[in-house]
Chains A and B, each alone.
Chain A
């Protein structure tokens, strides 16, 4: 990846000061992110940090009146938060694709996989029934599904979990989206094929020259597959920057905690940092990480640190060393 050109290109996705409220609780709190064309970003954080919520908000699936959005989400410079639904529909599945965590649950059990792959092709590209089928066969081949013509008429339950996820990838990439959102695309799969599916998604993203946001909870994996890393904690982005630098020299105590966990224990099941994420309705006033932070001072508990830019990285901490 030529970092120089990426840095200067106009942003593909610009999230700034973006908050999402459910009732009084801020599930996402003043999130800021920039993704340039061709760039891949790893969104890392514990379960419940708001990673899926952010992905769903970007593709416009959290627009019910009871969900409060504020701040800005820009795609190619176009503001998405107030976008008309008809216009948003033309982006979904077409210019923005989404891969779900659990392909088994994300495929409609009553329709064949061929029908579900053909759907965005017919809707967004206006292909005829026949052309959509032919294109679906090509897509299935491209994601490594053997005997695609036969599988076209298979129902989801007739395929293995890995094959189902390949189908989801084919659907998400059917219209060559500029932005792919992959929400823990391998965590529901057998460990033996996780790497294989991850590799496939990366290969397809590169082949289509798309940008991608990978939601992951493994910092090391994120750093390995993505250009940039954003670490989320309790609805906030606490640190963001180039993968190699974030992994080699984490600036935020939470990132450091995540890293030491991976290095020392090598397992995501074990709790990396003592304590728990505070519940949404009882978020601390100041830094949301303060109650678990080994270095927390009075100021941390009193005031929320604003993200600070340092050497092309953003960190939200009062005590960056």
Chain B
């Protein structure tokens, strides 16, 4: 138990190291010279060398990396050349909550549709219900997010006028308005996950329902709904959590697309704008934050899994 925890910690640190070196290298390799950008159009060689020295850019790479990492950890992420905004403020305080809210809502949508669809498909295996659920699953996966997003905007935003088509209202400032603006984006991003969740639910439930403990529950006189939802689904939770964790990368990629389509000021939008403006320092912050997010959520998934499976839970 302790051994595996140590291994997990080592793995996490290694991932963080790779991500940080990659973002540092990204900044170094990016085209354009930050010093000349900072000095403007007209400067002397003396002023240039002075600034290079002041910024520590004449020191060895390892030292520069160390200083950069230290500043990053302190939240000193620099300022945007274009908006003069503090990048930590922009990324962590403004963009991150938007992306997290979008991801959480999308996951909720996917679970609320995907789990019942998967259960229905498993209980009516090879019937039209199963076929329909499988079609839904494949359809959700086949549609690229931006395509579905645009269709939803056309039909429900422009055509029917039920939902706003663009922009973001923070749900923590105006809950209902915020939710209202997130309905279409959450469906867009969630649709991709619905298929995955339905498929995993279906196959795991079919496997679980063939287990002797399910027959034992029925032999105790438990009604069908309890056999499925209490005895069966409790054992499906573990594979479900694992798969959700594994598909986190896909979720983040989908979030970028969805944010751009719906003009949501999240991390994806922030990085996309920064790339277009060649503001590499912001892109780099986005990479670091995404990497951190990935590591944290993976750890959370791991903990959840351990908590869900009594065979892995540590006795306290």
Q: A155-B310, A155-B311, A157-B310 given as contacts; is B219 within 8 A of A108 (CB)? A: no
CB contact list, B221-241 vs A, under 8 A: 221-223, 231, 234-235
1/0 per residue, CB under 8 A from B, across A88-128: the answer is: 01111110011010100111111100000001100110000
Tell me the nearest residue of chain B to A62, going by C-beta.
B215
Q: A108-B235, A110-B235, A155-B311 given as contacts; is B216 within 8 A of A120 (CB)? A: no
Verify if A67 is at the interface (C-beta below 8 Å from B): no
Instruction: Select B212's contact among A90, A97, A106, beta carbons within 8 Å.
Output: A106
Instruction: Select A105's contact among B213, B217, B234, B235, beta carbons within 8 Å.
Output: B213
Q: Give the total of A residues in contact with B, Cβ under 8 Å.
A: 28
Verify if A49 is at the interface (C-beta below 8 Å from B): no
Instruction: Select A61's contact among B219, B223, B235, beta carbons within 8 Å.
Output: B219
Instruction: Select B217's contact among A91, A108, A124, beta carbons within 8 Å.
Output: A108
B218→A61 contact, CB < 8 A: yes
Instruction: Select B222's contact among A97, A123, A168, beta carbons within 8 Å.
Output: A123
A102: B residues at CB distance < 8 A: 212
Q: State the CA gap A59–B222 with chains docked (Å).
A: 13
Verify if A219 is at the interface (C-beta below 8 Å from B): no
Verify if B74 is at the interface (C-beta below 8 Å from A): no
Tell me the nearest residue of chain B to A98, going by C-beta.
B219
Instruction: Select A100's contact among B212, B223, B235, beta carbons within 8 Å.
Output: B212
Instruction: Select A106's contact among B213, B221, B308, B309, beta carbons within 8 Å.
Output: B213
A157→B311 contact, CB < 8 A: yes
Verify if B211 is at the interface (C-beta below 8 Å from A): yes
B216→A100 contact, CB < 8 A: yes
Verify if A171 is at the interface (C-beta below 8 Å from B): yes
Verify if B220 is at the interface (C-beta below 8 Å from A): yes
Q: State the CA gap A109–B308 with chains docked (Å).
A: 11
Rounded to whole Å, the gap between the CB of B217 and the closest CB of chain A is 7
B221→A124 contact, CB < 8 A: yes
B311→A108 contact, CB < 8 A: no
A110: B residues at CB distance < 8 A: 234-235, 308-310
CB contact list, B170-217 vs A, under 8 A: 211-213, 215-217
B234→A111 contact, CB < 8 A: yes
Rounded to whole Å, the gap between the CB of A165 and the closest CB of chain B is 12
Rounded to whole Å, the gap between the CB of B211 and the closest CB of chain A is 7
Tell me the nearest residue of chain A to B216, going by C-beta.
A106
Tell me the nearest residue of chain B to A102, going by C-beta.
B212
Tell me the nearest residue of chain B to A101, going by C-beta.
B212
Rounded to whole Å, the gap between the CB of A113 and the closest CB of chain B is 11
B219: A residues at CB distance < 8 A: 59, 61, 92-93, 97-98, 100
B212: A residues at CB distance < 8 A: 100, 102, 105-106
CB contact list, A118-157 vs B, under 8 A: 119-120, 123-124, 155, 157
Q: State the CA gap A94–B219 with chains docked (Å).
A: 9
Instruction: Select B221's contact among A90, A108, A168, beta carbons within 8 Å.
Output: A90
Q: State the CA gap A123–B231 with chains docked (Å).
A: 15
30 sampled A-B residue pairs with Cβ under 8 A:
A61-B215, A89-B221, A89-B222, A89-B223, A91-B221, A92-B218, A93-B219, A93-B220, A93-B221, A97-B219, A100-B212, A100-B215, A105-B211, A105-B212, A105-B213, A106-B212, A108-B213, A108-B216, A109-B235, A109-B309, A110-B234, A111-B231, A111-B234, A119-B217, A119-B220, A119-B222, A120-B220, A120-B221, A157-B310, A171-B220
Known: A106-B212, A107-B213, A119-B217. 20 other contacts (CB 8 A): A56-B215, A92-B218, A93-B219, A94-B221, A97-B219, A100-B212, A100-B215, A100-B216, A105-B211, A106-B213, A107-B216, A108-B216, A108-B235, A109-B213, A109-B309, A111-B234, A120-B220, A123-B220, A171-B216, A171-B220
The 9 closest A-B pairs by CB, nearest first: A93-B220, A93-B221, A92-B221, A105-B212, A155-B310, A106-B216, A98-B219, A108-B213, A106-B212
Chain A residues near B (Cβ < 8 Å): 56, 59, 61, 89-94, 97-98, 100, 102, 105-111, 119-120, 123-124, 155, 157, 168, 171
Chain B residues near A (Cβ < 8 Å): 211-213, 215-223, 231, 234-235, 308-311
